[in-house]
Structure 1
Amino acid sequence: MTATTRRRRSKRTAVGEAHRLLPGPLLMAVTVVLCAMVLVPTSYILLASLNTDIGVAEGEFWPSTFSLESYRRIWTTANLATGLVNSLIVCAFTAAASALLGTVTAYVLVRYTFTGRLTILRGLVGLQSIPGTLMLLPVFVLFSSAGNYLGIAMVGSRWGLFIAYLTFALPFSTWVMVTYLRGLPRELEEAARADGASTLVILFRIIFPLSLPAVVVSGIFAFLLGWNDVLFASVLTRPQTQTAAVALSTFGATQEGGALPVYSQVMAAALVTAAPVVVLYLIFQRYLVGGLTAGGVK
């Protein structure tokens, strides 16, 4: 049975299960409601960004005049360019490091047996239950202490924020890769070892290519963790190293209570900030769907 046939059967089975759980009309109604919950706010943000600030303040849903002026102004009023560059640098390195280290760690946990292996696996699950808010003060104190005693400036730097994000992204990436690698056959590795391949050769020439969907999933989730974060980025950065989320939050807060809130510019800044994530999803959509559904069909 080919992979295409298995995917088609899986799709038909999923559709059949959905119709068995909900009647056809009710399923259609639920689908319409869920789509409306996403499309209506998104449509309003898009239309508001193409409107004028006065038009949005007056409550216009459909702009009386369409204009791209807000998209031009946000680069000087919101300091968005610096935030986008910082976010792309920090999140890209976090995604790459998390995917690489997560794959290597998962390979060791899945293919080797040693004392403490189960404890580490259980710890990976337990770390996911700790709210990040509780870790903000300890992380800040730790980074500040490193700056005072070691002479290393971590607070206010990009790489300090990178370490903080990697700390939270790595357990999830490792667990995703553990789940995926358990389904890979050992015969491929045994055949490579019989041909004289070392562990590193097997890891980078066999495991990584076969695990590409899961690697992409772990990398994208690590990227989103840093891209959407405001709490840690607000505390661990300075104006020169602030991320796009902090720049957008600061810009929106400074406009509240003004004589004329620049709502149109806020909407335009929000769309520009969300654009890289949408582009990232469109590029890796095939791998993302494959990685999320891997292991669900045997």
Structure 2
Amino acid sequence: MSAVRQAQLRSETVAGKPGRVQNRQAEVTRLMPRPLLIIVIAVLSALVLIPVLYIFFASINSDISVAQGDFFPTELSWQNYAKIWTSVGLANGLLNSLAVAGSTAIVSALLSVATAYVLVRFAFRGRLTILRGLLGLQSIPGTLMLLPVFVLFSSAASYLGVTIIGTQWGLFLTYLTFALPFSTWVMVTYLRGLPRELEEAARIDGAGSLGVLLRIIVPLSWPGIVVSAIFAFLLGWNDVLFASVMTRPESQTVAVALQIFGSATEGGAVPYYGQMMASALVCAAPVVILYLIFQRYLVGGLTAGGVK
């Protein structure tokens, strides 16, 4: 049996005691009485579900009924879900958002795990400065960076002859600039909780730094990688400010398409409430699906750095 496998068995034996899990669950249930816990959960669920139900009912209702304030639809119609693909231009926006936000999430997660591994496991001059800089960058509002980023990318067309403004990869670079510091800090927090014995055992077996990263760190860091990737994906999916400035009609994201559609229908007698609600549900579906698929990784990744 290799040294790596022995170290993994020792870590699983220590971490796999069922008594600890049961004790933590008992401590959680003792925080409040069971009837009060049921009431709190019911209230929180209502606060989340009632707005979602209203959006769904409005998406299958007529615009006049929604304007009158009706919660339940007077007549059921699924035409709004068919109209949004031509009136809103939802298909092009969804493809652009998936391409930009998905590439940002993947590249940010891969770069952050490698950067965090170097910052956590190697000692060199300037290491603490980089860590403090990553934390300090989170305090800078993204709104203040809009004009500098736009001027920098527009100047690249003059000095380098490369067009960045109005392209998908230009928007990808913009999102990566803001997503990478946060993703790296998430991975730094996660890697600090991984046992060093596994890496030492892998080095005894002859693995180098790259082999340790690919064979030990990456497989054990999936919860942290998923968390950093999803947050980077949300950054690109929900952004309107940078996407409205850095894109053209053919490269605009779905958030910009919704904003333009909502602004264009405000001047009418009755806005297209049904189409706007249907578009909102369709645009929220990819994010909900991601959360449902990677839920167990999200819980482990978010709590890894807080419990020792």
Question: Which of the five TM-score ranges fits, normalised by the shorter chain?
Answer: over 0.9
CA deviation profile, 1:231-267 (whole Å, cap 9, x unmatched)? 0000000111111111111111111020331100000
| Matching of residue 175 in structure 1 with residue 188 in structure 2 | no
Aligned to 1:71, which of 40, 65, 81? 81
Aligned to 2:248, which of 223, 238, 244? 238
| Separation in structure 1 between the aligned mates of residue 29 and residue 254 of structure 2, nearest angstrom | 39
CA, structure 1 residues 89+4, in 2 after alignment: closer, same or farther (shift >3 Å)?
farther
2:272 paired residue number: 262
| Separation in structure 2 between the aligned mates of residue 126 and residue 103 of structure 1, nearest angstrom | 19
- Output the amino acid matched with 2:142: G
Aligned to 2:232, which of 222, 229, 233? 222
Deviation at 1:33, TM superposition (A): 3.3
| Matching of residue 277 in structure 1 with residue 291 in structure 2 | no
- After alignment, is 45-54 or 125-134 more displaced? 45-54
Deviation at 1:91, TM superposition (A): 0.6
Is the Cα–Cα contact under 8 Å of residues 248 and 269 in structure 1 kept in the other structure? Answer: yes
| Separation in structure 1 between the aligned mates of residue 265 and residue 26 of structure 2, nearest angstrom | 51
2:67 paired residue number: 57
CA deviation profile, 1:84-135 (whole Å, cap 9, x unmatched)? 0000000111001111110000000000001100000111110000000000
- After alignment, is 35-44 or 243-252 more displaced? 35-44
- Output the amino acid matched with 2:28: A
1:3 paired residue number: 16
Deviation at 1:4, TM superposition (A): 6.9
Structure 1 unaligned blocks of 5 or more: none
Is the Cα–Cα contact under 8 Å of residues 192 and 202 in structure 1 kept in the other structure? Answer: yes
| Matching of residue 210 in structure 1 with residue 233 in structure 2 | no
Is the Cα–Cα contact under 8 Å of residues 94 and 166 in structure 1 kept in the other structure? Answer: yes
Deviation at 1:7, TM superposition (A): 3.5
1:105 paired residue number: 115
Kindly report which structure 2 residues correspond to 1:141-180, keeping only aligned pairs within 5 A, or say none. 141-180=151-190
What TM-score, normalized by structure 2, do the two folds share? 0.91
Deviation at 1:165, TM superposition (A): 0.5
| Matching of residue 196 in structure 1 with residue 206 in structure 2 | yes
| Separation in structure 2 between the aligned mates of residue 268 and residue 61 of structure 1, nearest angstrom | 15
Deviation at 1:28, TM superposition (A): 4.8
Q: Which 4+ stretches in 1 moved above 6 angstroms?
A: none
Deviation at 1:2, TM superposition (A): 5.2
Kindly report which structure 2 residues correspond to 1:31-42, keeping only aligned pairs within 5 A, or say none. 31-42=41-52
Is the Cα–Cα contact under 8 Å of residues 52 and 70 in structure 1 kept in the other structure? Answer: no
Kindly report which structure 2 residues correspond to 1:80-99, keeping only aligned pairs within 5 A, or say none. 80-99=90-109
| Matching of residue 12 in structure 1 with residue 26 in structure 2 | yes
CA, structure 1 residues 88+72, in 2 after alignment: closer, same or farther (shift >3 Å)?
same
| Separation in structure 2 between the aligned mates of residue 147 and residue 47 of structure 1, nearest angstrom | 48
Is the Cα–Cα contact under 8 Å of residues 10 and 297 in structure 1 kept in the other structure? Answer: no
- After alignment, is 99-108 or 50-59 more displaced? 50-59
- Output the amino acid matched with 1:163: L
Structure 2 unaligned blocks of 5 or more: 1-13
- After alignment, is 39-48 or 251-260 more displaced? 251-260
Tell me the number of residue pairs that the alignment of Structure 1 and Structure 2 aligns. Answer: 294
CA deviation profile, 1:258-297 (whole Å, cap 9, x unmatched)? 0331100000000000000001111111111111122333
CA, structure 1 residues 186+49, in 2 after alignment: closer, same or farther (shift >3 Å)?
same
CA, structure 1 residues 8+67, in 2 after alignment: closer, same or farther (shift >3 Å)?
farther
What TM-score, normalized by structure 1, do the two folds share? 0.94
CA, structure 1 residues 4+53, in 2 after alignment: closer, same or farther (shift >3 Å)?
farther
| Separation in structure 1 between the aligned mates of residue 143 and residue 273 of structure 2, nearest angstrom | 29
| Separation in structure 2 between the aligned mates of residue 250 and residue 256 of structure 1, nearest angstrom | 10
CA, structure 1 residues 192+2, in 2 after alignment: closer, same or farther (shift >3 Å)?
closer
| Separation in structure 2 between the aligned mates of residue 119 and residue 29 of structure 1, nearest angstrom | 47
1:114 paired residue number: 124
- Output the amino acid matched with 2:217: I
Deviation at 1:27, TM superposition (A): 5.1
